[in-house]
Structure 1
Amino acid sequence: MRHASAAAWIAATAAVASLVSGCGSPDHTAAHKKAAPRADGQDINARPLSGIRQGGRLNLAISQWITQYNINTVDGAQGDAQEIARTVLPHLFHSDARGAIHANPDFLVSAKVTSTSPQTVEYRLNPKAKWSDGTPLGWRDFRAQWQALNGHDQAYEAADSSGYDQIAKVAQGGDAHTVKITFSSPYADWQRLFDPLYPAKYTSTPKQFNKGWSEKAPVTGNAFKIGSYDRTTQTITLVRDPKWWGNKPKLDTIVNRVIDFSARTEAYLNKELDSANALLPEDYQRLVKAPDTDIRRGARWDEVHITLNGARGPLKDLRVRQAVQHAVDRKGVNEAFAKDLAFRLAPLDNHFFMPNQQGYRDTSGGYATYDPKAAGKLLDAAGWKDNGEGRPRTKGGKQLTLDYVLSSGGTSAQFDQAELVQQQLAQAGIKVNLKKVPANDYFSRFVNRGDFDLTSFRNVDAVFLTTLTPVFQQPRGRNLFQNFGSVGSPKIDALLKKAGQSTDRAEAARLYNEADTEIWRLGHSIELYQRPQINAVRSDLANYGAEGLADVDYTKVGWLKKAGK
């Protein structure tokens, strides 16, 4: 789900209309900017398999070396790790362009609710589905995953126990290929559980769960498996698994290489990559001119925010967090980012819903309004002395200083945003140190460990809103889940649990929005804008590009046959 994770989430984002190329400057005034597309927008050059040649290699970029392939741990919740895991492990359900969920026939004959009191779900597994070691998928795999993630045993370093903690029993159904899940209370998003599925043989103990997937996947169970890990060249190569029982994938290999965001446009132009993000104007203007290139646009659940760490330093004080919210001019940040873009950037006033999504409303309650005077009063009340314009406030002889942690592999837009926020907070008497850290360490050593005061990344693809629960729930001991700033409350936890239990979509939306009002009040994070999806892709690459709400089906991705062949 997280930071481009990916991880994997209902909504849409603004799409980009073609920038005007040539000598003249495009008119990007508000009146000429394009509006957002419909929520099911996608552009993948969809083609039938008959038109795709057998073989070939797909070159993709990832943001960091994958240190953990168990995506149910905090370190594994990073987006690239999630994408690879769902490519090599049993991916039980697919999301389509509208965000609708469908059982994957390669793994499931069926999956349905068979009783509502108590809620009971029956999975009928495809008898052909096996792990790469030859073991058939079975009910014990489901049971082991439930036991690791239900929160009962704190030795399992689970990133998210939501949903699993509402299961009362996992058992074999009528035969060896049937699994029966009985819930203790209703859970609307039951299809997000056990997806991907992990093998009981390699997850049944805390040691196996926590450490057994570090740096490698000991077993796989999908059309592709991991052929090689090359830390020297920072590449992870996926290859077709000859034991695969489903339709033969068109590609031979998928090569994932660590490349900084700032270097990806050049890598694409040098034919080292087959896809690159074309969102930023400086990238778009170069990529749109590249030969044999499509600019593909889609709608996606994708938000940019600033996380505030309430577990250390000045931000432990609620008044300081609220002051930061008032001192950041969100409109100014958004306008600076969108200045040269040809579309309307949708401001974001909600942590759960995108602006063009049913259920969206402004839940900020005035806590994120740009108001320097209110920020000053809050800092006064917190005991931080005003030393005059341009000077940091002080308290007990110490300056009011915050560390804004950035990945050295980030985009120019991320650095520009951080510098703008630094300037805005300076006006309120808050000194901000910009701290660049190695890309491979950014999440694993800093974000995931809560080692920052401020940081900014993306949460993406929230087709299931319950996947956001660990982002806002209170940490337990050293387990931060995905609430890296440790800002939460029993009230938020209770509302999120109740929302997850509601099968009434309108009621669930009301509960999420009620929880979000409290999230804003506590200064958990500052939402900025809905991020567009616009990618440069090789013109002859089919069934890949800007998927929107849909999952990538790598068995269908491939290179078009040449004319006459």
Structure 2
Amino acid sequence: MSYDGVGPRAPKGRGELRDQPRRARRRPTAPHGPSRGALRSVVFLSVSALALAGCASEDPAGKPLAGQDIAPAARSLVADGGTLRWAVDSVPETLNTFQSDADATTTRVAQAVLPSMFRLDANGRPEINPDYLESAKVVETEPKQVVLYKLNQQAVWSDGREIGAADFAAQWRALSGKDSAYWTARNAGYDRIERIERGANDLEVKVTFGRPYADWRALFSPLYPKDVMGTPDAFNDGARRKLKVTAGPFAVKQVDRKDDEITLAPNPRWWGSPAKLNEIVLRAVPRDERAEALAAGTLDLAEIDPETVRRIGLASRAGGKGTSTPLQGATPLAGPGGEATAAEALRGFEIRRSLEPAFTQLALNGADGPLADERVRRAVARALDRKELASVVLKPLGLPVEPVGSHLALAGQAAYADNSGALGGQDTAEAQALLADAGWVPGGPVKQEKGEKAAGAEGKKDAEKKGEKEAEGDDGTYIVGDEKAPAEADREQKRHDLKQGGAPGAYAPKGTAAPAGAAPGALAKDGKALTLRFVLPSGPGSETLRTVAERIRRMLDRVGIRTELSKVTDESYFKDHIASGEYDLALYSWPASAFPATDARPIYAKPVPAADGSLNVEQNYTRVGTDQVDQLFDQAVSTLNEGETKSLIRKADSRIWAAAGSIPLYQRPQLTAAKTNLANVGAFGFQTPVYEDMGFLKKGAKPAAGPSNKP
């Protein structure tokens, strides 16, 4: 797992508690507890309001906030030959994408060397891949769903065998979940297939489903040969370290674990447009070492952090003035023209930027403690100015500043709609009213345990640092603890009083006036201060993430919620804290999927008790879920009406917002340093890369105009 300054990504297949049901495990974009009670109807939107939040008269999916930035060029402008040295986070443990330890590099290799029946377009929507398919469609719905694939007649494996029904059937059997000898990480969709057979000829594959499956386009992408999928031994071990048989524009030439490299070479049996490059070398380079590797000339392409963006920007500006200005801390490098500075070496690179198909969220652990109360979670959410948090990350990079409005899709994708209204925007008075409703009030007595600072003292110390004066409550005025939740009319009056200057977050016995103009102090209930543990990774490259956390801390402080920032090592951050539930607040990222009914369900599924008394949370690391959300996912994945599927997904998202287990903040920036003469490669956004078109421009050639993602 790596950290790139904008938030860790939740890794695929890692940290799940207990053995997972055989369902899709969400892929990483790579970084980057006991169930709660039912929704409290007195605080939340009605079902009809939520339904309205999920639907609109016009399609709200919109367009992607940023386009690709890949220096697009016609193939005629790209030179034949050359080696592209491309930084990756690691040489993967497996080249089988269906195993639990597959990572982002596994996916990158698979995209270049294996068939994919569908690929994603610029809007993050699946489209037929014509290199492998002439057509694919549902040809029957009654009595059962039948999908007919018509294969490209030129499509063959690298050993000369035609791609056909035997390969589809072998992959289905391996991933169906019926044979536990296959060590599979995800089986969603394959477990609904009843049979696979040859169609009218060898180029047709007929797939019959035992249960309807809306996301059938997600299947067989990638497709492995029957040599890999045919037996458990071949599946479990045969494709981990090598892929002998492939069917893409490239093939795996070498996996060098000593030098941490994977070399891809053109596939001589490829029937499509021939690859422009002679080789692609995927080289494992830590993110905090990539600036030096670029300057040293050992990389041509690398995803980078904002600090490296700054360094390259400085180098470019210095070069434009005809000067040679060493960057602070830069090491002089020897080059063909004599000694040059790192700044000079970086002038041959440019920054290509877009938004990654992934979003960073604030996760709220609803397993126990204050956040087990939905009102407190909602108060945290209502305290946040998500626009400000997005601006902190995206504005300095020249990228569109727009908070993410959905847990299940991003702008431009078919299922996207901004459903954040189901929870509501930033509202300090509402946040304080929710906290008071939950019994958390300022001025309450706090039992100070041995070795623990009183929350009031901490709050006072923080206030002194900021030059502010915090109000001190009278123990006889405010009630903490066992009081019943007030009626809705009382809450409305309370919110009115807060807006008029009453004591934020507090409510008093009838007839007791709250001190006007009081600033929020530390809150307490039952003798315990309201303090949340905010866990963060401490490694290099996470500076932006820690800046976002500090902004969140200040926002929560304004409504009386204290936070303790706890920095832990990168290695233990996800495994020992997020997955195991040892946190109150955390920042991490999830990728967006073109198939949210399948891929997002395990992330938001309601945790259920297992036979041994433990809790099976799947990938729901916030431990917040509802039966309603589960039902909506089940309905969405089982309908073959695409409009109805979108509507159900949006309704599910509205309810996920209302439960406030996680708060989407911003789409992750995608920052790539590329040699200025590299074409058709860079920040890909949603769209699947076209590996055969990547290459170096011919001398004097210029790429086409790209998107306006530049600052």
> Partners of 1:261 and 1:379 in 2: how far apart?
44
1:348 alignment counterpart: 404
The one-letter code of the counterpart of 1:202 is V
Aligned match of 1:189: 215
1:416 to 537, 547, 553: 547
Instruction: Return the offset for 1:378.
Output: 7.2
Q: Do 1:141 and 1:198's aligned partners in 2 also have CA atoms closer than 8 Å?
A: yes
**CA distance in 2 between partners of 1:479 and 1:130 (Å):** 42
Q: In the alignment, residue 388 of structure 1 is paired with which amino acid?
A: A
Asked if 1:91 corresponds to 2:116, the answer is yes
Structure 2 contact 83–277 (Cα < 8 Å) conserved = yes
Structure 1, unmatched stretches of 5+, are 16-40
The structure with the largest alpha-carbon Rg is: 2
Per-residue CA deviations over 1:304-339 (Å, capped at 9, x if unaligned) read 213344568876665665555456553443343245
Between the aligned partners of 1:560 and 1:108, the Cα distance in structure 2 is 30
Which residue, out of 199, 204, 219, partners 1:173?
A: 199
Indicate whether 1:249 and 2:249 are aligned. Answer: no
Report 1:510-521 matches (<5 A).
510-521=647-658
Taking the aligned partners of 1:443 and 1:58, their CA distance within structure 2 comes to 32
Paired with 1:515 and 1:538, the residues of 2 have a C-alpha distance of 43
Q: Are positions 1:543 and 2:674 aligned together?
A: no
What residue number does 1:360 align with? 417
RMSD of aligned alpha carbons: 4.1
Cα separation, partners in 2 of 1:241 and 1:119, compared to 1, 3 Å: same
After TM superposition, the structure 1 stretch with the greater mean CA deviation from structure 2, 309-318 or 50-59, is 309-318
What is the correspondence of 1:204-243 to structure 2 with a 5 Å cutoff? Answer: 204=230, 209=235, 213-214=239-240, 217=243, 219-243=245-269
Alignment match, 1:436: 569
How far has the Cα of 1:558 moved from its partner? 0.9
Change (3 A) 1:339 1:223: closer
1:555 aligned counterpart, secondary structure: helix
Matched, 1:373 2:432: yes
Tell me the secondary structure at the aligned position of residue 589 of structure 2.
strand
Alpha-carbon displacement from aligned partner over 1:2-38 (angstroms, at most 9, x marks no partner): 443499xx875544xxxxxxxxxxxxxxxxxxxxxxx
**Judging changes above 3 Å, is the alpha-carbon distance between structure 1 residues 448 and 61 closer, same or farther for their aligned structure 2 residues?**
farther
> Does the alignment pair 1:463 with 2:530?
no
Equivalent in the alignment of 1:139: 165
In structure 2, distance between residues paired with 1:448 and 1:75: 16
Which of 477, 494, 497 aligns to 2:631? It is 494
Output the CA distance in 2 between the equivalents of 1:187 and 1:310: 31
1:388 is aligned to 2:455: yes
Q: CA deviation at 1:551?
A: 1.0
Q: Aligned pair 1:115/2:140, yes or no?
A: yes
Moved more, 495-504 or 545-554: 495-504
The answer to whether the 8 A contact 1:544-1:552 is kept is yes
Q: 1:492 & 1:134 partners in 2: Cα distance?
A: 47
Q: Cα deviation per residue 1:461-506 (whole Å; 9 max; x = unaligned)?
A: 5334344334333568698654444543332222123223444444
Greater shift, 236-245 or 543-552, is seen at 236-245
Question: Residues 282, 234 of structure 1: CA spacing in aligned structure 2 closer, same or farther, 3 A cutoff?
Answer: closer
Residues 1:333 and 2:389 aligned together: yes
Q: Residue type matched to 2:564 in 1?
A: K
Residues 397-442 of structure 1, C-alpha deviations (whole Å, 9 max, x = no match): 999664625373544312322444456567623434121224xx76
| SS of 1:417 mapped into structure 2 | helix
Do the aligned partners of residues 82 and 425 (structure 1) sit closer, same or farther apart at CA in structure 2, a change above 3 Å counting? farther
Residue 287 of structure 2 contacts residue 305 of structure 2 at CA under 8 Å; is this kept in 1? no
CA–CA distance in structure 2, aligned partners of residues 84 and 395 of structure 1: 56
1:203/1:416 Cα in 2 relative to 1: closer, same or farther (>3 Å)? farther
Change (3 A) 1:189 1:44: same
Q: Structure 2 stretches of 5 or more lacking a match?
A: 1-25, 33-60, 317-345, 447-453, 460-521, 702-711
Please give the alpha-carbon distance, in whole angstroms, between the structure 1 residues aligned to 2:225 and 2:529: 52
Contact 2:607 2:623 in 1 (8 A): yes
Amino acid at match of 1:373: Q
In structure 1, the partner of 2:359 is 303
Query: Relative to structure 1, is the Cα distance of residues 412 and 81 closer, same or farther in structure 2, using a 3 angstrom cutoff?
Result: farther
Q: Residues 434 and 204 from structure 1, CA distance in 2 versus in 1: closer, same or farther, beyond 3 angstroms? A: farther
Corresponding letter in the other structure for 1:468: A
Q: Which residue of 1 aligns with 2:492?
A: none
- C-alpha distance in structure 2 between counterparts of 1:209 and 1:63, whole Å: 24
Alignment of 1:269-288 (within 5 A): 269-277=295-303, 280=306, 283-284=309-310, 286-287=312-313
Question: Is the CA contact 1:330–1:370 (under 8 Å) kept in the aligned structure 2?
Answer: no
User: Are the equivalent residues in 1 in contact too, given 2:383–2:556 (CA < 8 A)?
Assistant: yes
State the distance in 1 between where 2:582 and 2:264 align.
33
- Alignment check: 8 A CA contact 1:75 1:443 kept: no
Is residue 27–residue 591 contact of structure 2 (8 Å, CA) maintained in 1? yes
Of 478-487 and 456-465, more deviation after overlay is shown by 478-487
Structure 2 distance, partners of 1:394, 1:230, is 58
Deviates more, 1:441-450 or 1:185-194: 441-450
Aligned to 1:259: 285
Q: By how many angstroms is 1:294 displaced?
A: 4.2
Q: Shift of residue 90 of structure 1? A: 1.6
User: Could you tell me which amino acid in structure 2 is paired with residue 498 of structure 1?
Assistant: Q
Secondary structure of residue in 1 paired with 2:96: coil
Q: Do 2:78 and 2:695's aligned partners in 1 also have CA atoms closer than 8 Å? A: yes
Change (3 A) 1:446 1:110: farther
Q: 2-side partners of 1:485 and 1:158: how far apart?
A: 25
Moved more, 337-346 or 385-394: 385-394
Q: Greater shift after overlay, 190-199 or 213-222? A: 213-222
Is 1:162–1:470's contact at 8 Å kept on the other side of the alignment?
no
1:13–1:532 contact (8 Å) kept in structure 2: no
Structure 1 Cα separation of the partners of residues 536 and 236 of structure 2: 26
Separation in structure 2 between the aligned mates of residue 398 and residue 217 of structure 1, nearest angstrom = 57
User: 1 CA distance for matches of 2:256 and 2:590?
Assistant: 28
Q: CA deviation at 1:120?
A: 1.5
Compute the displacement of 1:452 (Å). Answer: 6.0
Q: What TM-score results when the alignment is normalised by the length of structure 1?
A: 0.78
Tell me by how many angstroms 1:128 deviates: 4.7
User: Take 2:27 and 2:199, find their aligned partners in 1: how far apart are those partners?
Assistant: 34
AA of the residue aligned to 1:42: Q
User: How many equivalent pairs are there?
Assistant: 533
Alignment of 1:36-75 (within 5 A): 41-75=67-101
